[in-house]
Structure 1
Amino acid sequence: MTSLSFLPVAPWPILFLLAGLAAALIWWPAGRRERTETGGARGRRSAVVLLLLLAATRPALPGTDVRVDASSVDVYFVVDTTTSSMARDYAGSEPRLAGMRTDLKGVAAQLPGARFTVLSFDLDTTTRLPLTSDATALYAAADTLRPETSRWSRGSSVTVARTDLVAALQRGQATHPDRARLVFYLGDGEQTAETEPQPFEIPGGLVNGGAVLGYGTAAGGPMATTGNLSEGDVVDPSTGKPAISTIDEKQLAQIADQLGVPYLHRQSDDAGQAIVDAVHLTQLGSVSGAEQIELGGRTELYWVLLLAVALVGAWELGLVIASLTSLAALKRRTALGRTALGRTALGRPRLGRTRLGRPPTRRQAGAGRRPRGTPSDPSPGSTGHTQLETSSSTGGGGSA
């Protein structure tokens, strides 16, 4: 009989708490705009929250049983990704980072069934891969390791990763005290910070073995610029020539002594064999002899739920775009209407009114009349004829 199984990505109480907070933000929003949203919009967002909650539980159907290698070893890689990791003096003229990537994969191949984590450091420390037994994930993390941006490089310490490494080791010891913990430090030992490096001291009992792996040569090599569109090498501002990075094996040997592990200078790829051969476990025996165990297979279903989330999200995005388009069209129509109204108002004659809306004065009203005494064209029955006639009749009376 088939039945669903669950492997939640977080404890159940945390998942339900996050879902409850999301629902509260959807149905009891704080902003005025959010309070006016329709029930349909809130329903879609609630569906997204529910689907994400179900996906986080990682539901699955029983699958085919598989046999895998298992060993009680946790491997902690600490990788230098400063600008000097791009110096071209590994295996001839390859970048040092290329050698580090190769050795990460080689060690993983030599320790089947182990769990791996990757921490990289430059100006600060970053966890590139949390503890996992998935070797494919480790290979992907190795391939995607990138150095810091050379333009923003301001110097770094070779021991800056100590605090994060100690925290990771302590978590591993607390959750799986019976597992061996191996630490592999990969770098060139070049201290570029202005201050001296802090001791790379690890509390006792946290490290059961490992190695410090050094990359580079005493002659050094130029470093390619990273993180921008320009090409070429990093330039030394004091000389105007390509800057040269060299390995500091004395510093690396000191770190190895503080960790209690051997130091190896890496110059070529040997599939990690020499690295594992140099590992000497303390307190927990040998790292070899991984056994095979049978695990029940699972057919994961979370991807179906995430696909549904994507569909609902696309629906919501389409509605938002349509709303914005309608709003823009409404604004254009309103602007056009106001423009047409303004033009009509400008072309309308102002009748019976002067500026400021006052009635015209008598002087303004008579501005178009003919001044007194101005002659005009004579016409039949005009005043000019009347005056002539009157003058004649007056003269005739005088003669009499």
Structure 2
Amino acid sequence: MTLQPILPWWLMAILVTASAVFLGWRLAVASRGPAGSRQRREWLFRSAMVLLLLAAALRPGVPGGSSQAATADVNVFFVVDTSSSIVAEDYGSGSPRLDGVRRDIMAVAGELAGARFSLLTFDSSAVVRMPLTTDTTALDTAVAILQPQVTAFSKGSSVTAAGKLLTERLRAARDSHPERPRLVYYLGDGEQTSAAAPEAIKPDGGLVNGGAVLGYGTPEGGRMKENTGQRSGTDGGYIQDRTTGSGRDALSVIDEGRLQWIADQLGIPYVHRSAGDAVAPMMQAADPGELQRAPEGSGPDGRTEFYWILAFGAFLLGLREAFLLLLHWRRLPRASVVPDDAQKAAVRHAEEARK
């Protein structure tokens, strides 16, 4: 059991001492009165109410559980695949996968309010789009303007192209603020279009404290619009399948096996995401509550608090006291509104004087 009072300890000590002295004095006076037993009982109820309020102000609790305040000491890294396949139209009713990526990034940011966020993207190369910041408006803007790689520049991409950059950013975050846990959210479809096999992501032990690999797409696949690099509305048609010479639109298919492989390397769970999926399953799989135990001995610990139980007890006693006060008020004699003889005589004298 630990205590986290809402006021400094010295002030709490004064309040507790003053309250105990006053209540003890009132109980002693009530016991000596003519209605000692009844008065003592009433002051016992009042004393219990005050003591419950003081106990609630001490905020008792036990270690464990999750704490919203702890998210303010978390660094979150979003790693987003921006290769051409991210706009494959098999998310929901023919929407591009990038729509789901945008929605889920902001949903995670909403669940981890107060954390620091960074955005990394990768296609043929990896780039830091936004360094760590608590500015969710900047994150929203950076996510809103995400676009796939210009199709003409695409030469194939690796699903682990951001591995080295991510490791560097994680190390820098650990070195500057070792007390802050680090989450990684990898968002992609797992499609490897580079001729070379993907390199393993091997972050140092303890660099990744939580997060999730989020997968987008379907086994049936989806067509991809070309990105010409021009303004919206001037893009070309769909990317063509040039491997067979059939002249058909190319299809991008999710590779969940590779996404699971990435998740295993990072030590975080894999979660497939579809349109309309709730936020809670994604966050539960990512298990942000586990951050309260990493790193050990630093940062604000998660606590299960019991102050609300004490406050609720004081509230019930307060309702009882208010009810008794109302009954007492209703029993008070009403002031007479009938004038006495002197007032009647004064009224008559005034009336005669006006005649």
1:192 match: 193
2:111 match: 110
Between the aligned partners of 2:83 and 2:107, the Cα distance in structure 1 is 22
2:240 match: 235
1:211 match: 212
1:96 match: 97
Q: Is the 8 A contact 1:99 1:268 kept in 2?
A: yes
Once the two structures are superposed, residues 13-62 of structure 1 have per-residue CA deviations (whole angstroms, 9 ceiling, x without a partner) of xxxxxxxxxxxxxxxxxxxxxxxxxxxxxxxxxxxxxxxxxxxxxxxxxx
Q: For residues 152-167 of structure 1, what are the structure 2 equivalents within 5 Å?
A: 152-167=153-168
2:284 match: 277
1:268 match: 275
Once the two structures are superposed, residues 258-277 of structure 1 have per-residue CA deviations (whole angstroms, 9 ceiling, x without a partner) of 10000000002446332221
Cα distance, 1:116–1:94 mapped onto 2, change above 3 Å: same
2:62 match: none
2:72 match: 71
Q: For residues 224-373 of structure 1, what are the structure 2 equivalents within 5 Å?
A: 224-228=225-229, 229-237=234-242, 238-270=245-277, 272-280=279-287, 281=290, 283-284=293-294
Between the aligned partners of 2:77 and 2:277, the Cα distance in structure 1 is 20
Between the aligned partners of 2:91 and 2:300, the Cα distance in structure 1 is 28
Q: Is the 8 A contact 1:129 1:138 kept in 2?
A: yes
Letter in structure 2 aligned against 1:277: Q
Between the aligned partners of 2:228 and 2:252, the Cα distance in structure 1 is 18
Partner secondary structure for residue 113 of structure 2: coil
Partner secondary structure for residue 117 of structure 1: strand
2:21 match: none
Q: Is the 8 A contact 2:157 2:193 kept in 1?
A: yes
Between the aligned partners of 2:301 and 2:254, the Cα distance in structure 1 is 32
Q: Is the 8 A contact 2:70 2:302 kept in 1?
A: no
Between the aligned partners of 2:300 and 2:202, the Cα distance in structure 1 is 23
Between the aligned partners of 2:108 and 2:169, the Cα distance in structure 1 is 20
2:152 match: 151
Between the aligned partners of 2:271 and 2:161, the Cα distance in structure 1 is 21
Greater C-alpha Rg: 1
Between the aligned partners of 2:182 and 2:221, the Cα distance in structure 1 is 33
Q: CA RMSD in A?
A: 2.2
Between the aligned partners of 1:233 and 1:83, the Cα distance in structure 2 is 11
Partner secondary structure for residue 183 of structure 1: strand
1:174 match: 175
Per-residue deviation, 1:106:
0.3
Partner secondary structure for residue 242 of structure 1: coil
2:141 match: 140
Letter in structure 2 aligned against 1:128: R
Partner secondary structure for residue 89 of structure 1: coil
Letter in structure 1 aligned against 2:255: D
Between the aligned partners of 1:87 and 1:270, the Cα distance in structure 2 is 18
Identity rate of aligned residues, in percent? 46
Q: Is the 8 A contact 2:239 2:250 kept in 1?
A: yes
**5+ unaligned residues in a row in structure 1: which ranges?**
1-67, 291-400
Between the aligned partners of 1:215 and 1:69, the Cα distance in structure 2 is 30
1:296 match: none
2:327 match: none
**5+ unaligned residues in a row in structure 2: which ranges?**
1-68, 304-355
Superposition TM-score, scaled by structure 1 size: 0.53
Once the two structures are superposed, residues 297-333 of structure 1 have per-residue CA deviations (whole angstroms, 9 ceiling, x without a partner) of xxxxxxxxxxxxxxxxxxxxxxxxxxxxxxxxxxxxx
Cα distance, 1:270–1:112 mapped onto 2, change above 3 Å: farther
Task: State the aligned residue count.
Answer: 223
Cα distance, 1:99–1:175 mapped onto 2, change above 3 Å: same
Letter in structure 2 aligned against 1:235: Q
Letter in structure 2 aligned against 1:240: G
Once the two structures are superposed, residues 265-294 of structure 1 have per-residue CA deviations (whole angstroms, 9 ceiling, x without a partner) of 00024463322211233642899979xxxx
Letter in structure 2 aligned against 1:284: A
Cα distance, 1:94–1:178 mapped onto 2, change above 3 Å: same
Cα distance, 1:287–1:220 mapped onto 2, change above 3 Å: farther
Q: Is the 8 A contact 1:224 1:231 kept in 2?
A: yes
Partner secondary structure for residue 252 of structure 1: helix
Q: Is the 8 A contact 1:99 1:269 kept in 2?
A: no
Superposition TM-score, scaled by structure 2 size: 0.60
2:82 match: 81
Between the aligned partners of 2:87 and 2:241, the Cα distance in structure 1 is 15
Per-residue deviation, 1:70:
6.1
Q: Is the 8 A contact 1:155 1:193 kept in 2?
A: yes
Q: Which runs of 4+ in 1 moved over 4 A?
A: 285-290
Q: Is the 8 A contact 1:173 1:206 kept in 2?
A: yes
Letter in structure 1 aligned against 2:273: R
Per-residue deviation, 1:111:
0.5
Between the aligned partners of 1:100 and 1:79, the Cα distance in structure 2 is 8
Q: Is the 8 A contact 2:73 2:181 kept in 1?
A: yes
Structure 1 or 2: more strand by fraction:
1
Between the aligned partners of 2:202 and 2:108, the Cα distance in structure 1 is 24
Letter in structure 1 aligned against 2:283: V
Per-residue deviation, 1:133:
0.5
Cα distance, 1:70–1:246 mapped onto 2, change above 3 Å: closer
